[in-house]
Amino acid sequence: MQSPRNPYSSADIDRASHEREDEERMIELASSGEARFVPIDSEKNLVKTGGNPEAVFLQGMMARAVASAADTQIFLGYVEGTPYFAVDVTGRETPLGELGEFVDLRQVGPLLFAREGSVLAYARGMTYWHRRHRYCGVCGATTKVTRGGHVRMCTNENCKTEHFPRTDPAVIMLVHHGDKCLLGRGKHFPRGMHSTLAGFVEPGESFEDAVAREVYEEVKVRVNNVIYRSSQPWPFPASVMIGFHAEAESMEFSVNESELESARWLSREELRPENMPKDGSFFMPRRDSIARRLIEEWLGHEAGASING
Ligand SMILES: [Zn+2]
C-alpha cells in the first residue's frame, strides 16, 4: 500500500527529466508565454501574505524581465501541463516586492496548498544547491549550468566533472516500547517542544543501521524492528527525511548531552490532545513535519493523511 504523502512532496509535479537534455526545448519553454517562474531570494520564497498566504508565480512580461536578470533558470517540470522554472534573484534589483513578500517557506508552508508548497520547496532546494556549486570541487574551476539546471559541469577542459544536485538523507525515528514512546528535546528547540530523534545517514551505512546508531548515540538505547513508514523532502536546506518506527529493547536511557537537552517516555494517554498541558511546557512538532506524522501514526490518529490536502 502506498503511504499518504507528506507535505512538500507532490505527485502533481511531472519533472519531465528526459526533456532537460534538449537545450532548444528548454529555451523554447522558458520563453513561451505560458511558463511560470518561481523566484527565490536568499533561500526565501515569494508569497502573497495578508490573509491566507499564496505562492506568487511569475508569468509573461514580469517573468521575462526577472529571468533575464538572473544567472540561472532551472526547469522544474510541468504542473498540469504548464512548465515551471525556478529563478534565483538573490542580490538583484527587482520589482517583486510589489507582488508579495520573500519569506522562509517553513513560516507559511502548512498554510499553503500542498502542491504550491511542494513547488516552492523544490525551487528553494535547487537554487540553494546552485549557489553553493559555482566552483568545481575537484579542480576549483568555475562550473556552468547544463541540462535544464540539473547539472553543473566543470569548465576546465581537462576535468569536465559533472556535479549533480545533492540531497542529504537523514533518518528520523519514533522509538517506542510497549505503550510508551521516547521523545527528546534538541538544544535549539523552542521551549516545550518535544520530537522524535533524527540524524544524518553516513557513507557506507543503510538507513536501518543509521537509525540504530543515532538512537544509541543520542540516548544509549538499542532498537529492533526498525520499520519504514514514509519520507519527506526537507530542503531546509538540503535534506530528505526517511521516517521509521523502531522498538526499544529496554526503557533505560541516558541522554548524550552533546546531542540532546533531554528525553522522556510518554504514554499514549499523556499524548492525547486533551491531556496536553495548556501552559506550553509540552507540545509536539509542527503539523507539516514527518516527526509529527510518525507520532500520530503510532498514536493511531494518522494525522499525516489529513494534512496532505
Ligand atoms: Zn573541475
For residues 72 and 76, give the distance between their C-alpha atoms in angstroms, rounded to a whole number.
12
pLDDT of 128 above 50: yes
In the numeric block, which cell numbers belong to residue 40? 527565490
Q: 13-132: which CATH architecture?
A: Alpha-Beta Complex (3.90)
Confidence of residue 2 (pLDDT cuts 50, 70, 90): low
- Identify the residue whose cell numbers are 556535479: 163
Pure H helices in the chain: 23-31, 60-69, 105-108, 114-131, 207-219, 290-299, 303-306
pLDDT of 50: 84
**Distance, CA of 6 to CA of 216 (rounded, Å):** 27
Q: Is the pLDDT of residue 45 over 90?
A: yes
| CA 30 to centroid of ligand 1, rounded, Å | 28
DSSP per-residue codes, 184-241: EE-TTSPTTB-B-EEEEPPTT--HHHHHHHHHHHHH---EEEEEEEEEEEETTTTEEE
Give residue 158 CA to ligand 1 midpoint distance, Å.
Answer: 8
Give yes or no for residue 62 having a pLDDT over 60: yes
Q: What is the pLDDT of residues 251-282, one digit of tens each?
A: 999 999 999 999 999 999 999 888 888 898 99
- For ion ligand 1, residues whose CB falls within 5 Å: 136, 138-139, 141, 154, 156, 159, 161
pLDDT at residue number 305: 41
Residue 302 has pLDDT above 60, yes or no: no
What pLDDT is attached to residue 111?
86
Domains 13-132 and 168-306 share a fold: yes
Q: Which helix (H) or strand (E) holds 306?
A: helix 303-306
How many angstroms is it from 260 CA to the middle of ligand 1? 40
**28 C-beta neighbours (distance < 10 Å), count:** 12
Backbone angles phi, psi at 271, to 5 degrees: -90, 0
- CA of 165 from ligand 1 middle (Å) equals 16
On the question of pLDDT at 248 being above 90, the answer is yes
- Could you tell me the pLDDT band of residue 11, with boundaries at 50, 70 and 90? confident
- The domain limits of the chain are 13-132, 168-306
**72-91 in b/e burial notation, b at 16+ Cβ within 10 A?**
bbbbbbbbeeebbbbbbbee
Cα 146 to averaged position of ligand 1 atoms, centre (Å): 15
Say how many Å lie between the CA of residue 26 and the centre of ligand 1.
25
Instruction: Single out the residue of 149, 107, 147 nearest to residue 126, CA to CA.
Output: 149
The grid cell for 203 is 557513507
pLDDT for res 69: 79
User: Would you state the pLDDT for residue 306?
Assistant: 38
Q: Is the peptide bond between 237 and the residue preceding it cis, with omega within 30 degrees of 0?
A: yes
The residues, any chain, with a CB within 8 Å of residue 296's CB and separated by 6 or more, are: 302, 303, 304
Residue 308: pLDDT over 50:
no
Mean pLDDT of all residues in 161-182 = 97
Inter-CA distances, 107 with 13, 48, 117, 281, 282, Å: 22, 13, 11, 22, 21
Q: What pLDDT is recorded for position 177?
A: 97
91: phi then psi, degrees, rounded to nearest 5: 80, 5
pLDDT for position 188: 92
Give the model's pLDDT for residue 288: 82
Distance between Cα 132 and ligand 1 center (Å): 15
Q: Find the 148 Cα to ligand 1 centroid distance in Å.
A: 20
Contact 7, 288 (CB under 8 A): yes
- 227 alpha carbon to ligand 1 midpoint, in Å? 41
With 50 as the cut, is the pLDDT of residue 54 above it? yes
d(CA 57, CA 78): 13
Q: Is the pLDDT assigned to residue 4 strictly greater than 50?
A: yes
- Give the per-residue pLDDT at 77: 98
pTM: predicted TM-score of the whole model, two decimal places: 0.91
Over pLDDT 70: what percentage of the chain?
Answer: 96
Question: How many A from CA of 20 to the centre of ligand 1?
Answer: 22
Q: Which CATH superfamily is domain 168-306 in?
A: Nucleoside Triphosphate Pyrophosphohydrolase (3.90.79.10)
Please tell me the distance between residue 89's alpha carbon and the centre of ligand 1 in angstroms.
Answer: 26
For the chain, the C-alpha Rg in angstroms (whole number) is: 22
